Structures are given as structure tokens and as C-alpha cells.
Amino acid sequence: MWSEKEQQELNQILKQYPDKRSAILPALYLAQREKNWLDDDDIAAVAEALEVSVTHVHSIIGFYTLFRKQPAGKYVVQVCTDLPCALRGAEDFYKRLCQRMGLGPEGGTTPDGLFTVEEVVCIAACDKAPCLQINLEYYENLTDEQIDNIIARLRKEAEGQSNSVTSSKVAE
């Protein structure tokens, strides 16, 4: 499952931990990095590399919201709608964001596959709601205009990345 480059990265990660089982979070992150989700083969590869059970790996994935077992967009937008954030308007902010992105009230992945929008409970910024994280980058005290600008910037970045990949393939 691991590419040669990923295996080298995994070996470097494992050198940092006296007990390889402690490397489970960085190993999962590495396994998920390319396609932004983990399939059964990825999970089995992590379990084998760290000498833990597949069940143990599943329990870690189930606890941390940044790991996913289903396909997701390139950018995972997690909006906190826990009670303190809801009191600061996060639920309505979430609903408006979903609507503007062409999604139903439960969120999901945009038709272009670029964004997955979901509600989460607590990202530790209750006093700065509405708040969200996009692939580990935090945004706080958001307005609709600010999130629209962030989404537009990410769309532009993704477009630039796909154009550079296309250009490099044409050059080959």
C-alpha cells in the first residue's frame, strides 16, 4: 500500500517513537494524505506497519474527526455547532454556508468534489464563533463574506494546482 516515498516517510516517523504503536496518528495522516480518506487497505497497512489490530486502528479513526473512512473533498470544512457556538450564531452560519455551496442542511460534498462541509462538536474556540477549521487551518469570528472569500481563494488555489499538474503532464 505504501509508495516508496511514503514508506520512507513512515520509516522517519517510526524513528521518532520508541514504541511504534505511538506513531498511529502520524501514520494515519500519512496514509490518508493523498486521497483524503482511508479505505480498508489503508487501515490494514497502518495496522500491519505498527503491529496493532485493525480494530484498534478503527477505534482511533472513529475518535478523531480528521480521519475519514469515506471519500471526502480536497478541503474538509468542519463548522462547530456545539451549544456555546450555536449561541453565537454558528447553526445559522452553517446552514447558510451549506445553502451557498449547493448542499442540503446536513452538509456533504460539493458536486465538484472539492469541499466536504460538516458539523462538528467543539474545535476549542467557543468564544470566537462562528468558527471552523479547513484541513487543520482555523478561522474564527467569521462572517458570510469572510467564508465566501476563503472558499473562493481555495477554489482558485485548487484550480491553479490542477492547471500546473495538467501543464506538467502535457510537457511529458
Q: What is the DSSP code string of 11-79?
A: HHHHHT-SSGGGGHHHHHHHHHHTTSS--HHHHHHHHHHHT--HHHHHHHHHH-TT--SS---SEEEEE
Which residue type, as a one-letter code, is found at position 96?
R
Residue 1: the pLDDT is: 78
Report whether 46 contacts 27 (CB < 8 A): yes
Three-state DSSP class for 143?
Answer: coil
Task: Give the pLDDT confidence score for residue 34 in this predicted structure.
Answer: 87
Q: Residue 57: its pLDDT value, please?
A: 97
| The pLDDT of residue 169 | 44
Q: Which segments in the chain show pLDDT lower than 70? A: 163-172
- Residue-level pLDDT at 166: 46
C-alpha cell at 3: 509508495
Cis (ω within 30 of 0) for the bond into 26? no
d(CA 2, CA 46): 9
At residue 59, the pLDDT reads 95
pLDDT for position 148:
96
Q: What integer pLDDT is reported at residue 164 of this predicted model?
A: 59
Residue 53 C-beta-side C-alpha neighbours within 13 Å:
3
pTM summary value: 0.77
Domains in the chain, CATH or no CATH each: 4-63 (1.10.10), 75-171 (3.40.30.10)
Q: In the chain, what is the greatest distance between 2 CA atoms, to the nearest angstrom? A: 54
**Beta partners for residue 26, in sequence order:** none
